Amino acid sequence: MLTVGLFPNLKKAQVDAVLHKIVSYLTERGVQAIIPCETAEIMQFSNMVCSTVPLDKIDVALSLGGDGTFMNIARNIAAKKIPVCGVNLGKLGFLTEVELSEIEDALDSLIAGKYNIEERLMLETTVERLDDSIPSTLALNDMVITKNGYSRMIRLNLFVNNVYTATYPADGLIIATPTGATAYSLSAGGPFVAPSAKVMVVTSICSHTLHSRSLVVSEEDIITITIDDTSADVVLSADGQAAVNLTPKDKIMIRKAPDSARFIRFYGKSYFDILRNKLYRGDFYNQ
């Protein structure tokens, strides 16, 4: 029996109706749906299997929300090698695969196994700090090192494979995966990158120089960043959702994560279709 894990963002206005529709549709077709117990209680699913989400029992995962919800789920289940499909309840929904009008067709394809799985690079960051232990952090889109609050411009030293590469007087640095190239990095002037490219992109934020350009390196390279300012107030964020306060003597090391995120992609859709329809048309501002 196919088992589908449902991970809704309860803050989305339409999530109640969409979740009930999906559960009914799957149940009628003999598919087991699993949902976190706290979510099942809030949504009043008395006839549904609920648990603390035993990931080993899930065949596929459905993210119900926007890109932030999708990224959070994709990171959390990557180590279990469970593919995730996103249903867009947000605005842009660049990472999510399914729009509301496509839900039934998408569920039929999931049940029939008619989909591809794309493996996407994730980043792992470790912070080396004297006399302290900082847990490693994962990101699907990007790692961002930036000034905090009203701090002045900062100076960041970049090393690739322990070779000094550049010093950036800027508001910060973005280290993006191909998936994250269409997010913050793009807004800061970075390039579009096909998701199949095995690279990382380094883009500065408001760099105070006339020659700053994005740097594209191999996914196998190790990026190291140090803070060249003893008074700087600097933070590290992962996918814009987790932050670590940095100190001037910290060494930030960013590399390919041991696990990849697994995206479900249906036949007939491509990255370039989404790129054209979502970004070039400006859907973010029209919705």
Residue 158 is encoded by which pair of tokens? 């970049």
Residue 143 is encoded by which pair of tokens? 């790692």
- Eight-class DSSP state of 149: T
Helix (H) or strand (E) holding 190: none
Q: Rounded to whole angstroms, what are the CA distances from 73 to 64, 85, 137, 158, 210? A: 10, 10, 15, 31, 39
Q: How far apart are CA 96 and CA 85, in angstroms?
A: 7
Q: Using an 8 Å Cβ cutoff, are 33 and 19 in contact? A: no
CA 260, 266, 269: angle at the middle one, nearest 5? 100
Share above pLDDT 90 across residues of the chain, in percent, rounded to a whole number? 61
Q: Which one-letter amino acid corresponds to residue 110?
A: L
Q: Using an 8 Å Cβ cutoff, are 195 and 74 in contact? A: no
Residue 9 is encoded by which pair of tokens? 């963002």
- Eight-class DSSP state of 141: S
Q: Delineate the domains of the chain, giving CATH numbers in brackets.
A: 3-120+260-286 (3.40.50.10330), 123-256 (2.60.200.30)
Q: Which residue has the higher pLDDT, 29 or 152?
A: 29
| Structure confidence by residue, pLDDT tens digits, 203-250 | 999 998 877 899 999 999 999 999 987 777 899 999 998 688 998 889
The active-site residue, picked from 16, 56, 59, 67, is 67
CA 65, 1, 270: angle at the middle one, nearest 5? 45
108 catalytically annotated: no
Residue 161 is encoded by which pair of tokens? 């494979």
Task: Report the range of poorest mean pLDDT among 190-194, 214-218, 242-246, 254-258.
Answer: 242-246
Q: Using an 8 Å Cβ cutoff, are 97 and 254 in contact? A: no
Q: pTM to 2 decimals?
A: 0.88
Neighbouring-strand partners of residue 259:
none
| Average pLDDT of span 153-181 | 95
